[in-house]
Structure 1
Amino acid sequence: MTYESAIKTLDATISKLPRPDYMHNGAGQVFFLQRMQKLADRLENPEKDFRYIHVVGTSGKGSTSTMVYEILRAAGENVGLYTSPYVCVPTERIQWGGQLIDEVSFAAAVEKVMPVVDEIEKTEADWFPSYAEIFFAVSLVAFKQAGISTIVLEAGCGGRYDKTNIIPAPIVTLITPISLDHTDILGETVEAIAEQKAGVIKAGSAVFAIQPEPPIQEVLDSEAAGVGVEITYVRPNEQFDLSLRGAHQQVNANLAAAAARYLGLHEMAIRDGIIQAELPARVELMQEAPRVILDGAHSPAKMTALVESIKELEPWQKLHLIIAIKESKLVDDIVSPLTSLVNSVTITTFQLPGFGSHPPEAIVAAFKAARPELTVAIEPQAKIALETVLKDAAPDDLVVITGSLYLAGELRDYWYPTAQIMEERTLFPKTK
Structure 2
Amino acid sequence: MNAPPVPRTPLRPLDDVLADLLSRATALPGTEQVSTFDADGRVLAQDLVSALQVPPQDNSAMDGYAVRVADVVPGAVLPVSQRIAAGAQGMPLAAATVARIFTGAPIPAGADAVVMQEEAEPAGDGAVRFRAPPPVGQHIRRAGEDVTRGAVVLAQGRRLDSAALGMAASIGLAQLPVVRRPRVALFSTGDELVLPGTVPPAEMKPGAIYNANRFFLRSLLRRLGCEVTDLGVVPDRLDATIDALRAAAQGHDLIVTSGGVSVGEEDHVKPAVQALGTLDLWQLAIKPGKPFAYGRVAGAHFIGLPGNPVSSFVTFLLLVRPFVLKLQGAAVLATKTIAARADFAWPRADKRREFLRVRRNAAGGLDLFPNQSSGVLTSMVWGDGLVDTPPDTTIAPGDTVQFIPFVELLA
Structure (1 or 2) with the greater strand fraction: 2
Higher alpha-carbon Rg: 2
Q: TM-score by structure 1 length?
A: 0.24
Q: TM-score by structure 2 length?
A: 0.25
Structure (1 or 2) with the greater helix fraction: 1
